[in-house]
Amino acid sequence: MADLHVQFLGHTVPSPFLLASAPPTAFGENIMRAFDAGWGGAVLKTLKPDGMLIEDARPRFAALRDSRNSVYGFENFELLSKRSLSEWAADIAEIKKRYPDNLLIASIMGDSIRSWQEMARRVQDAGCDMIECNFSCPHGMPEIGAGMAVGQVPEIAGEITATVHDICRVPLLVKLTPNVADPRLVCQAVLDAGADGVTAINTVQCLIGVDLDTFRPQPAVDGLSTYGGYSGKAIKPIGLRVVSQAAATMQERGMRPAVSGVGGISTWQDAAEYMLVGSTTVQLCTEVMLKGFGIIDRLASGLSQYLDAKGFASPMDLVGKSLPWLTSHEALAKHAPVTATVDRDRCTACGACATACADSAYGALAMNMDGDAPRLEINRKRCDGCGLCTVVCKTGALTV
């Protein structure tokens, strides 16, 4: 099977699969159990200055479920780690003593120039391999001028990055927010200020739903709610977009992409997609919260088998491979004569595509009810090649 080691900012990591900064990394013993299970690395739950008061609401999690009751969207408004810097320093030292080959990244969030530097000093003195500056938490922290409030303003993000870089002896990452008009501007600012790479993305600010009986937004805390961070499978397309933009930004600067991708990863296929658009490592949170550290076995074996099947020796062979096929909308062909085609062996004549085409496209598809059985017919003169029918079809019978 393919070797899953990757090279990331000067470190050889036993696997590209990392735990993201979140509840699964809230304690050192959790991280060590994850390493025993096979995870390649972990990002500590974000550290705070010792003087910052952190009080979590209860409850603080909610989910969106599909028709099979499986979670596809997840909201939280949990805040930073409540533990002291001294407690974390002791954990960092112990983890690195016992697991020297696993990647350990310290996530930090300050509330002043002095606190940013003090935390960076403490975690690198304790032995962390990298520092990740959290400029992207979308709830609670922006209200005090931290988290997403930093990551939405390139000038502020650059200023704090430079401050941490001044005293940093280990590679420096910045975690980008998706809650901004153009993350490339923030990416450019932090790279200009000395960041060695980025993590993308943090959660998407959201309101997950409303109880139709009580009229209360969810999750409700004594009847009230607030906006939280949205994660899970539903945000993968957003994460892929930001990772690809960050990786392309680095390539334009003559850099090899140094991106840790996170957002909606639940399978090895998701991880491979992130690598193809520029991630070297991938971070998981929600899937771990729902299913535990043991998912690493299927992630690692699936990716390894995929690499073997494709003839690749390492996950590094995937990194950025799909970027050349991303372009501007202006550069896409707009005049090619493309129309839908049906595979009769796969078509069940359910009529869903014809309904979609009639009500939301060009009315090119219709069900011919003459004869012994319904039959899909395509009017190629009316077909615009939009592809809606291929999305609606559940059997893969239609192609464009």
Active site residues: 137
**Burial call 85-111: b when 16+ CB within 10 Å, e when fewer:** beebbebbebbbeebeebbbbbbbbbe
> Which whole-number Å values give the CA distances from 372 to 368, 369, 375, in the listed order?
10, 8, 9
Q: Which two tokens stand for residue 265?
A: 């990863």
Find all residues with CB under 8 Å of 29, minimum gap 6, and list them.
none
| CA atoms of 287 and 326, how far apart (whole Å) | 28
d(CA 295, CA 270): 14
Which DSSP string corresponds to 147-187? THHHHT-HHHHHHHHHHHHHH--S-EEEEPPSSSS-HHHHH
Q: Where are the alpha helices (DSSP H) in the chain?
A: 28-37, 85-98, 113-126, 148-151, 154-167, 183-192, 236-252, 268-276, 286-291, 296-310, 352-360, 388-392
173 close to 132: Cβ distance less than 8 angstroms? yes
Residues 296 and 94: their CA atoms lie apart, in Å, by 23
Rounded distance, CA 81 to CA 75, Å?
A: 18
DSSP-based three-state secondary structure for 236: helix
Cα distances (Å, whole numbers) of residue 350 to 102, 279, 354, 357: 52, 40, 9, 13
Structure tokens at 324: 């050349």
